[in-house]
Each structure stands twice: as C-alpha cells, then as structure tokens.
A and B are shown apart, each in its own frame.
Chain A
Amino acid sequence: MTTFPERLKALHSRTPNRVAITLQFSGRDDLPITYAQLLGAASSFAQTLEREGIQPGEVVVLILQHGENLVSSFWGAILHGAIPSIMPFLTEKLSPERYKADLSALISVTKPVAIVTYSEFEEDVRAALQERDSVRAVVVADRIEAQAEIDFASLKGFQRKPEDIVLLQHSSGTTGLQKGVALSHQAVFNQLNSYGKSLGITENDVIVSWLPLYHDMGLIAAFLMPILSGIPLVIMSPFDWVRAPYRLLQAISKYQATLTWLPNFAYNFCAQKIRDRHIEGMDLASLRAVINCSEPVRWESHVAFYERFRDYGLKFEALQTSYAMAENVFGVTQNQLGSIPVVDEIDRESFMVERVAKNPLDGRPSMKMMSSGQPLENVRVKVVGEDRNEVPERIIGELALQSDCMLTGYFNRPDLTEKAFRDGWYLTGDYGYISNGEVFVSGRKKDMIIVGGKNIYPQDLEALTYEVSGVHAGRSVAFGMYDETQGTEDVVVIAEVDSEDTQEQQRIADAIRLHVTKNSAIALRYVKVVGPKWILKTSSGKTARSANKEKFLLELEADREN
C-alpha cells in the first residue's frame, strides 16, 4: 500500500538523475527532466498552493498546455495532497463565451478551489468565474520559480492515505465536465500493477506519446504509468502531432521507443498523411507494442498502418489492442503482447438483427471483428442482456466489469455513481461479446459519438445548434457515422427549419457549422438543413437518434446513386 508522493520520493532517492520525462516542442530542442528536477519544480508549486490556503483533499483544476508548467503543477498538486484535474486547454478556435460556459459546468459540480493557468489566460479565467462560486484562487503557473531544495517534511501530500482520492478525470463537453471520475491512489496502483504486468513492462522500456493528458489514455498509460514506474517518457503536444504526425515516428526512432498508444483513427491518419521525405532512414524495430485503444478497433486500420511502415522495421505483431475506460482507471483488457489480436469474421445480418456473433454463412456479407484482448488479471468481464442477467458466449450484450481498480465514484454525484453499478458490477454502456476468453467490443449502448478517441455527447452538439438563429430547440439531431477512410466517426448534424428556401437553408447550415466548431472544437463533417417534419421523434416526443441516422444514410445513398 502506497501513495503517489511516497512512490515519487522513493524514485527520487533511488535515481535522482534519471530522466523521467523528455518534453518535445515544435522548433525547440527536446527538454529532459530528471526526477530531481521534477520533484524540485513540483514542490515549489506545492508551496504556492499552501500559501494560497489550498487544503489537501480540495480540487485544483489545471488549464495548461503541453509543457513544463503542466507537468510541475500536476505533481505539485499531488505533493500538496490536493486533487488535480486537467481540463482541455483553451484552443484558439474555441470562443471565450463557450469556454466560460464549460468552466461554469465544471465548477458547478466539481467545486474546485483553485484554477491554475498561464498569465496570458489569467484574465479569461477570472472573467469566467462568478461571485460566490467555489474558486478561491487563480494561480499563474509561469510566475512560480522552482527551488532546488525539497523539504519533504513540509509537504502535506505525504499525509494522504492510499484510499484517498488522488485525481479526477473528466470527459469533454458540458455533459462530460459535470461528471468527474474520482480515482484513489490505491486504485491507480492496482491498475498500474496489473496493466504493467500484462505488458511485461521493465525499466528498459521507453514510452513515446502525443496524447493529451486530459484523456485517460494519455494521463494513465502515457504519463502516470511511466513516471511512477521509473520508465522514460517522451511526450509531445497533440497540437504539434496533428499538424505533423511524422513527429511521433521520429521520436520513436530517435529514442528507440518500445511502447506507444494510439486511438484507431491515428493508424489511418499516420498511414495516409505521412510523407516519405519526413521518415527517411527511420527505424521502428524497437517497438514492442503500438496499442490501439479508446475507440472501436479495426483490423483494416492495423493492416494499413503496417503496410505503410513495414519497410521501416515495424513488426506486425507489435500492433496491439486494448479496451479501457476512465472508470476502471484505464485498461480493462489487453491483447497478449507478441501475438496478433484475434480476428473473428462473423455474419453481418445475425450480428445486426439477432445480436449474435455467428460464423459467416456462404455467400452472405460478413464483417471482421478484432479482439480487444483478454481481461487484465485483476478484472472480471461479463456480458449481460437487457434483463441484466449474464448471456452465453458470442451473444451480444452490455459489457459489465468488476475489479480492484474501479473509481471511488463520480465526484459529488452519488446519484450517478449508484446508477452505474448493478449488484457490484459496473455497467460500461458498451456493447460486445466474449468468445474463448477474448473480449470483442462492438459499439455503444448510449448515443455517445467517438471521434478520434474523444467522447462527445450528441446532446451537447444539439444544444449548440439551438443557439443558431433559425433553428428551434428540440429540432436538431447529432450522431456519429463510421468513416472507413478516416478510421473513426464523422459527426453529422441535421437541423429542421421553417424555411423551405434552399439558399436560406444553406446560410443556416454554414452558421451551424461555424457555431458548433467555435463552441465545441468539434468539426462537423455533414451539416444537413431540412424543412419541417423531417426529423423523426419517438412517441414521447424525444428525438430518436438512431432512426434519424438511418433516414440520413438512406438519403445519402440515394444522392450518391443520382
């Protein structure tokens, strides 16, 4: 039984000069940070929180970009015993009004006492605060000076117990920000032990990542695990990666990385968008595992990635899968390293209609399902039907799990926490089936859209469209549609307006596209504005997203044939 501060202190005393993290920046030299430097900067930050009157156990929200400040303020909050939560950084695209609304959504439930940001955003953050809300301090990270001396005895984080909450993870959007997953020290260590074991992790590993830290895959697999396990981490900004995906491969080659995590779309993105001139002479043979996780995993994406990079030493068996969620800290399953994930070809119609994974029948269309691997040793997975009873192998139902690394609860939301569990099993909201101990994930029960590994609640996007003039509340629908080329979902928005005039409809479509992009940082692929009575409603007057999606797909097909 241990805590984050105790583990960090042990690493610090054993290997003070070992590089814990190497930060990469576009147009700047790589910046290595040793454990001694990390602890030094973090403890200065902890002292700042102390001076600001922040108590251990209180929540501190971090609004910081990739860089030293994010790293030291996260660990500083930990050393002080405060509970850090990393919020997506304000991008240039996002409107200040929306950011204010997002921040209010977060504050209303999570009740943070401090917000940490940069001097240039201090004003925006202060403007977003309201009188009598929970925030007592806005801490400007770039004004804190690191001190060389670390006074461990004065750091309050060492009084925290393993069962105390250590951090919160939020997903994005108004809905996601009101639902913080609270994790204890012990839960995180239990996850790291079992997940690390499934990967056969050693101090010879090197992890490279471009993933954002406000997402579980980035935060746990490519930040906490390496730092708390003494494994070198090389990390770059997601903004830099998306403009230059080859940087990931350069970093892998340069640091001879052994492990990296990618959402499915990134396999397609890298395979399609990297130019030969950028990866000449690269060596990817050091990779033990490239782990596909956080959106539905596709065999075709693995093949495309392998074909593109096989000449650079990439091994096919390095392409791996995992199924993970913040509520279980991270990993639920992991494919056995060194072996190729099982691909199960099944009959499409039985899958869609009977909800069962059957062997393909002669001459009928089939589909390839790729396994996400087997449950970690501390996790049990079962599939349940509508009545919550376990169903046999190969029957599709909701995945439920039990483990010793579950969330403590949704922060300040006992109602949601209670609803999430049934008879001691956590109901994931994901559909799938089990076959020979392999877990296949086939979709989501709820209407959640997953784009590029990011979870998006359609109701948040719909609410934004109502703010556009010409669109009435309750008369738009948002959903995701799988795009084979991109390897992820395209976001579709359909809005019903009074006008039948096509020019006016086009004007409204443009306005929706711009408004939603500016206010959610989500780009809409299809925006369809339609006349009255297009959108299908259920008998209770609710928008039926799946029925509207089917209608949209049929029209799209008809358009293509014309």
Chain B
Amino acid sequence: MTDNIISEIENYIAAQILKQPTRKIAADESLISSGLINSFSLMDLALFVEDTFGVRIEDTELNANTFDNLTQLASLIESRKA
C-alpha cells in the first residue's frame, strides 16, 4: 500500500512539478529542505494528496518538519487514513 502511495506521489511530482515525467525520485530523497519543491509547488502537492488520498493536510504542516521525503509523506497519509 505504502509503495503505491509513494509511486503515485512520485509520478505526480516528476510530471507536474518538475516537468520531467521520466525522472525517478528516491523514497528517502529530501524534497523540501533540498529546494526540489518550492513553496508554491508545495501547495499543489498538498492539494493533490488531499484529493487523491482523502486526507487533510493543514497549512501549518507544510514544511520540512512534517515530511521531507516520500517515505515520510506516505506514512503521514497512512496514519491519517487509519
């Protein structure tokens, strides 16, 4: 399940945010602190996650302390769904 979540988010980031559909993102690759995802795109990512997985992410959570890689984001989603 977690793998599915990870790959769905990975595809979204590669195609929609980075505009490099074939690009691979490692599950532990840092997303926010590295600058890969900027603040405008972070908002897009949060909306995508909310719509796709039916969970809520509050704006105060949109920072590297809440999640900074795909594994952390996936487990955040899992915990909210439970």
Do B62 and A523 touch (CB < 8 A)?
no
Do B19 and A517 touch (CB < 8 A)?
no
Question: Which chain A positions have C-beta within 8 A of B34?
Answer: 514, 517-518
Question: Which chain B positions have C-beta within 8 A of A527?
Answer: 20
Judge whether A305 is part of the interface by a CB distance below 8 angstroms. no
Do B59 and A523 touch (CB < 8 A)?
no
* Given A243-B42, A243-B43, residue A514 in contact with residue B19 (CB < 8 A): no
How far is A421 from B52 in the complex, measured between Cα atoms in Å?
Answer: 55
Chain A nearest CB, measured from B28 CB (Å): 15
Judge whether A239 is part of the interface by a CB distance below 8 angstroms. yes
Interface string of A153-196 (1 = CB under 8 A from B): 00000000000000000000000000000000000000000000
Chain A nearest CB, measured from B54 CB (Å): 14
Judge whether B75 is part of the interface by a CB distance below 8 angstroms. no
Chain B nearest CB, measured from A512 CB (Å): 11
Q: Which of B35, B38, B47, B59 contacts A244 (CB 8 A)?
A: B59
Do B38 and A517 touch (CB < 8 A)?
yes
Most chain A CB inside 10 Å of its own CB: which residue of B19, B41, B44? B19
Do B39 and A242 touch (CB < 8 A)?
yes
Do B19 and A518 touch (CB < 8 A)?
no
Do A26 and B60 touch (CB < 8 A)?
yes
* Tally of chain A residues near chain B (CB < 8 A): 23
Question: Which chain B positions have C-beta within 8 A of A239?
Answer: 39
Question: Which chain B positions have C-beta within 8 A of A526?
Answer: 19
* Tally of chain B residues near chain A (CB < 8 A): 21
Q: Which of B35, B40, B64 contacts A517 (CB 8 A)?
A: B35
Question: Which chain A positions have C-beta within 8 A of B38?
Answer: 93, 517, 523
Do B23 and A243 touch (CB < 8 A)?
no
Question: Which chain B positions have C-beta within 8 A of A518?
Answer: 34-35
Judge whether A15 is part of the interface by a CB distance below 8 angstroms. no
Chain A nearest CB, measured from B79 CB (Å): 21
Do B35 and A523 touch (CB < 8 A)?
yes
Do B59 and A243 touch (CB < 8 A)?
yes
Judge whether B76 is part of the interface by a CB distance below 8 angstroms. no
Interface string of B43-76 (1 = CB under 8 A from A): 1100100000000000110101000000000000
How far is A275 from B37 in the complex, measured between Cα atoms in Å?
Answer: 21
A405-463 contacts to B, CB under 8 A, are 452
Chain A nearest CB, measured from B56 CB (Å): 9
* Given A26-B60, A244-B59, residue A514 in contact with residue B40 (CB < 8 A): no
Q: Which of B41, B47, B60, B62 contacts A27 (CB 8 A)?
A: B60
Q: Which of A245, A486, A514, A525 contacts B35 (CB 8 A)?
A: A514
How far is A527 from B38 in the complex, measured between Cα atoms in Å?
Answer: 15
Question: Which chain A positions have C-beta within 8 A of B60?
Answer: 26-27, 243-244
Judge whether B36 is part of the interface by a CB distance below 8 angstroms. yes
Do B59 and A273 touch (CB < 8 A)?
no
Judge whether A108 is part of the interface by a CB distance below 8 angstroms. no
Do A525 and B40 touch (CB < 8 A)?
no
Do B40 and A93 touch (CB < 8 A)?
no
Chain A residue nearest to B23 (CB atoms) is A506
Question: Which chain B positions have C-beta within 8 A of A506?
Answer: 23
How far is A513 from B35 in the complex, measured between Cα atoms in Å?
Answer: 8
How far is A93 from B36 in the complex, measured between Cα atoms in Å?
Answer: 10
How far is A239 from B43 in the complex, measured between Cα atoms in Å?
Answer: 12
How far is A259 from B12 in the complex, measured between Cα atoms in Å?
Answer: 37
How far is A186 from B49 in the complex, measured between Cα atoms in Å?
Answer: 52
Do A93 and B35 touch (CB < 8 A)?
yes
Q: Which of A273, A509, A517 contacts B43 (CB 8 A)?
A: A273
Chain A nearest CB, measured from B43 CB (Å): 5
Chain B nearest CB, measured from A486 CB (Å): 8
Judge whether A269 is part of the interface by a CB distance below 8 angstroms. yes
Interface string of B19-38 (1 = CB under 8 A from A): 11001000000000111111
Interface string of A490-510 (1 = CB under 8 A from B): 000000000000000010010
How far is A160 from B42 in the complex, measured between Cα atoms in Å?
Answer: 46
Question: Which chain A positions have C-beta within 8 A of B33?
Answer: 92-93
How far is A299 from B36 in the complex, measured between Cα atoms in Å?
Answer: 31
Chain A nearest CB, measured from B75 CB (Å): 21
Question: Which chain B positions have C-beta within 8 A of A452?
Answer: 40
Question: Which chain A positions have C-beta within 8 A of B40?
Answer: 242, 269, 452, 486, 523
How far is A486 from B38 in the complex, measured between Cα atoms in Å?
Answer: 14
Do A242 and B19 touch (CB < 8 A)?
no
Do A523 and B41 touch (CB < 8 A)?
yes
Chain A residue nearest to B37 (CB atoms) is A523
Chain B residue nearest to A247 (CB atoms) is B59
* Interface positions of A (Cβ within 8 A of B): 26-27, 92-93, 239, 242-245, 269, 273, 452, 486, 506, 509, 513-514, 517-518, 523, 525-527
| Inter-chain pairs besides A93-B38, A513-B36, A514-B34, 19 sampled, C-beta below 8 Å | A92-B64, A93-B33, A93-B35, A239-B39, A243-B42, A244-B60, A245-B43, A273-B47, A452-B40, A486-B40, A506-B23, A509-B20, A513-B18, A514-B35, A517-B35, A523-B35, A523-B37, A525-B19, A527-B20
17 contacts between A and B (CB under 8 A): A26-B59, A27-B60, A92-B33, A242-B40, A243-B60, A269-B43, A273-B43, A273-B44, A486-B40, A506-B23, A509-B20, A513-B36, A517-B34, A517-B36, A517-B38, A523-B40, A523-B41
